[in-house]
Amino acid sequence: MQNKSELRQRLLESRKAMSAEQKQLWDRQLVEKILAWWSVERFPTIGVYWPMRGEPDLLAAYATLTELGTTLALPVVVSDDAPLKFYAWIPGDPVIKDRYGAAVPAVQHSELQPQALIIPCLGFNKQRFRLGYGGGFYDRTLALVPRPVTVGVAYACSEIAFAADPYDVALDSVMTPSATFS
């Protein structure tokens, strides 16, 4: 069994190895899947993410969700050992990079409790456990009550077998361009 930091390295490398054309195609498929999911669930407020380090780019879906009346929020790290906070964000609103390289709303005026979160997965397994960059931020966020509905997004190459830790919370579903695990 490899440790999580070796897995992270491998997963980052396989994500970086995709061609730009292939990634664009897969991102368009994920955008369509997210919009199809929303049209069934219709959550009024959704926590999304600004893509970094080769994560799926779903910005096109955020624009459509906003047109459909959804309120979006971006995650903000407030301290290394706290859950994430989510601040209202409208596509086009300025973002700034935090010290982790994650983009956060430049103006953080209203903290929201989204009903659902779209969560990028560096890796995931068949039991829908997720591997992130190792900060434990989403783990701490999902330990809170009430827990939002969680949709992981990843590429097929991000599926990998690993043993979950006791604090890991399984996602409600994980979408790749070609499959949905739920």
Ligand X SMILES: Nc1nc2c(c(=O)[nH]1)N(C=O)[C@@H](CNc1ccc(C(=O)N[C@@H](CCC(=O)O)C(=O)O)cc1)CN2
Ligand Y SMILES: Nc1ncnc2c1ncn2[C@@H]1O[C@H](COP(=O)(O)OP(=O)(O)OP(=O)(O)O)[C@@H](O)[C@H]1O
Residues in contact with ligand Y by CB under 6 A are 4, 131-140, 143, 165, 167-168
Contact, 151 vs 37, CB < 8 A?
yes
Binding piece for ligand X, criterion CB under 6 A, among 18-26, 31-39, 132-140, 143-151: 132-140
Compute the distance between CA of residue 37 and CA of residue 175 in angstroms, rounded to an integer.
10
- The distance of closest approach from Cβ of residue 70 to ligand X in the complex, given in angstroms and rounded to an integer, is 18
Tokens of 14: 């396989």
Backbone phi, psi, residue 104, to 5°? -125, 155
Rounded to a whole number of angstroms, the minimum distance from the CB of residue 135 to ligand X is 4
Count of CA atoms in the C-beta half-sphere (13 A) of 154: 28
Stretch that binds ligand X, among 32-40, 50-58, 89-97, 109-117 (CB under 6 A): 50-58
Q: How far is the CB of 99 from ligand X (least distance, A)?
A: 7
Give SS3 for 45.
strand
* Binding-site member from 47, 56, 75, 123 for ligand X (CB under 6 A): 75
Q: Which stretch binds ligand X (CB under 6 A): 39-47, 86-94, 100-108, 165-173?
A: 100-108
* Tokens, residue 178: 């070609």
**Judged by CB under 6 A, does residue 123 bind ligand X?**
no
User: SS3 for 182?
Assistant: coil
